[in-house]
Amino acid sequence: MATNRRLSIVLVGVTGSGKSTLGNILLGFEPDQPEGFGTSSSSRSCTLDTETRNGFWLGDKITPIRIIDTPGHGDCDGRDEHHREKMVKFLQAEGTVDAFVWIKNSQQPRYDKQEAEYFGILMKVFGPSLFKNLVVVFTRWAFGKKDEVRRNRRRPPLTLEDVKKELWNSFVEGRDPIEVPMMAVDALHDSEDEIEAAAFRREMEVFLSTITKFSAMPVREIQMVRTEAEKLEQQIESLREEMKANRDLAGEGLQIAIKKMEELEDNLKRNRESQQPPAWLESMRLFAPIAQKLLDFGLRIAERRLLKNE
């Protein structure tokens, strides 16, 4: 489906989900092509500023698009507030957005605390109308025959529909049900493999067909929003500046200021602790990629033995 109007597409998600790689694919580039967005194989954020590239859908020279790549939420260096402020200013200048694309790692389908915090912020920035222009794109889902065989050998077998349901059920929990289109794009698919190439074309056709039906969303009037932790940090910094400016503060006034500072710092500590996953869960997340590789390796050995015995 072609359109003469340039579609403005904003990529959002947590750090390391594959936003920049998807942006390059949408423009018809290779995943790490120099003309595209910078990418990284690690979980660290490679996108430090809101960036944009103009081009055509899959490089077709027919459907003009504008990809806006935003920094991932959950930056390990604590720059989320800075990144968000720059993103808001950037989008204010853009004026309108056609689609927000939530890039989600299919290997971690649940809607976790970090994403809940992020979408709570996005809801406050853009309002409920955000969901009228939102699609979910799963990354790291391979459609190859061998990949399907490996997933079918799991107990229970894992399907793309299972991944979608896992995200859906955890996402809508505690809120009114909303309809958000979902698809999976394998950025590293083998274009010479008929099954993988066909799956890529199918998902991309659904993707384009979906977002061209959206109405452009005005974003010129959006405002910066801070998390509770960021608000507390701002209050602490403001109190520090006030105490510096009033160096002659003493007696009861000084005690009140110190007590207020301690209360704010205690609240900030509790807020941060509530946002942190348990240590055992974090260890599991770090171990998961290694465990997956070991499982795949074991399945490949079992597959070879079965073929050898046939």
Boundaries of every domain in the chain: 7-218, 228-275, 280-310
**Residue 255 to residue 261: CA distance in whole angstroms:** 10
**Residue 165 to residue 173: CA distance in whole angstroms:** 12
- pLDDT on residue 281: 45
- pLDDT on residue 42: 46
Cα-Cα end-to-end distance for the chain:
47
- pLDDT on residue 115: 86
Residues in the chain, pLDDT under 50: 42-43, 280-281, 284
Contact 249, 241 (CB under 8 A): no
Residue owning tokens 């979980």:
43
Rounded to 5 degrees, φ, ψ at 153 are -85, -5
- pLDDT on residue 255: 66
**What is the homologous superfamily of the domain 7-218 according to CATH?**
P-loop containing nucleotide triphosphate hydrolases (3.40.50.300)
- pLDDT on residue 38: 80
> Is this model's pTM higher than 0.75 or not?
no
Contact 103, 19 (CB under 8 A): yes
pLDDT per residue as tens digits for the range 56-93: 999 999 999 999 999 877 665 667 777 788 889 999 99
**Residue 147 to residue 247: CA distance in whole angstroms:** 67
- pLDDT on residue 91: 93
**Residue 140 to residue 104: CA distance in whole angstroms:** 9
- pLDDT on residue 43: 47
